[in-house]
Copies of this chain bind each other. A is one copy, B any other.
Amino acid sequence: MITSTSNPQVKNIMLLLKKSRARYQQQLYAVEGIRMFREAPEDLIDRIYVSESFLKTEAHRKELEGHTFEVLSDPVFLRVSDTKTPQGILCLMKMPDYSLESFLKEPGGLWLILENIQDPGNLGTMFRTGEGAGIRGIIMDEHTADIYNPKTIRSTMGAVYRVPFFVTGDLAETIRHLKDHQIRVYAAHLEGSVFYDEPDYRRGTAFLIGNEGNGLTEPIAAAADSYVKIPMGGQLESLNAAMAAGILMYEANRQRRR
């Protein structure tokens, strides 16, 4: 059992929870809680850490059968954890390696493209809602929040394991690439000339969503095929970015169910 926070493994978990750079250098990220352990793809689990009191429960020991794991003393686990009331289990996960090309081979998919989304909670909610709406994947620019941030992970509710994603250094180029694969790109934009429920989303479709405060930059919005807007009553200037994405994705889902 590890009883000291100066243990190198413990220090590394804390580093992986805090520092994005360390995560990418090691190609590892940390997830917390029993659900995130249960839903984790077996082949991507690198290491499992549990707290002393977690192990005291018979059901927990049963769930761990067939796995190797390290035990941390309760005070050490509490220090390590990113949550206020830790559940006592944390996994280090290998980062998945998705190939955009292989996903683009199958036509007709539904995609989300994100430019400079800053709030980890918003990003996680888009993964969660995207899984629900049946999207094929999420494409993000380099300025979007880190999907492996613990807050983002938490708000995906496990969708981080199941919704493929791709980070691109050249978003405009990637958008052109999608268009070459017969995917129509719709920018969510206040200056949209049509309401979001007017186009036909049953063919290959991508929704382009911009930063929470400033929306899409001019060059990225210009790369879209067309602008769509969500009608807004009252004096509201905009919807929350994750909400806008959710409403668009579920409109596509609705059309595809007919």
**Which residues from chain A sit less than 8 Å from chain B, CB to CB?**
39, 121, 125, 128-129, 131-134, 155, 157-159, 162-163, 195, 197, 230-237, 239-240, 242-243, 246-247, 250-251, 253-254, 257
Task: Say yes or no: A236-B132 contact (C-beta < 8 A), given A195-B257, A230-B250, A231-B253.
Answer: yes
Contact B131 A237 (CB under 8 A): no
Instruction: Determine the distance from Cα of A253 to Cα of B231 in the docked complex, in whole angstroms.
Output: 9
Contact A162 B128 (CB under 8 A): no
Q: How far is the CB of A201 from chain B (nearest CB, A)?
A: 13
Instruction: Determine the distance from Cα of A230 to Cα of B257 in the docked complex, in whole angstroms.
Output: 12
Contact A129 B234 (CB under 8 A): no
With A131-B233, A197-B254 given, can you name 12 additional A-B contacts, CB distance below 8 Å?
A: A132-B231, A133-B233, A134-B234, A155-B240, A157-B237, A159-B236, A195-B257, A230-B250, A231-B253, A233-B253, A246-B246, A251-B254
**What residues of B have a CB within 8 angstroms of the CB of A243 in the complex?**
125, 128-129, 242-243, 246
**What residues of B have a CB within 8 angstroms of the CB of A128 in the complex?**
236, 239-240, 243
**What residues of B have a CB within 8 angstroms of the CB of A242 in the complex?**
243
Q: How far is the CB of A186 from chain B (nearest CB, A)?
A: 16
Contact B234 A131 (CB under 8 A): yes
**What residues of B have a CB within 8 angstroms of the CB of A254 in the complex?**
197, 251
Instruction: Determine the distance from Cα of A195 to Cα of B199 in the docked complex, in whole angstroms.
Output: 21
Contact A39 B235 (CB under 8 A): yes
Task: Say yes or no: A129-B235 contact (C-beta < 8 A), given A246-B246, A247-B246, A247-B250.
Answer: no
Instruction: Determine the distance from Cα of A157 to Cα of B239 in the docked complex, in whole angstroms.
Output: 9
Instruction: Determine the distance from Cα of A78 to Cα of B129 in the docked complex, in whole angstroms.
Output: 37
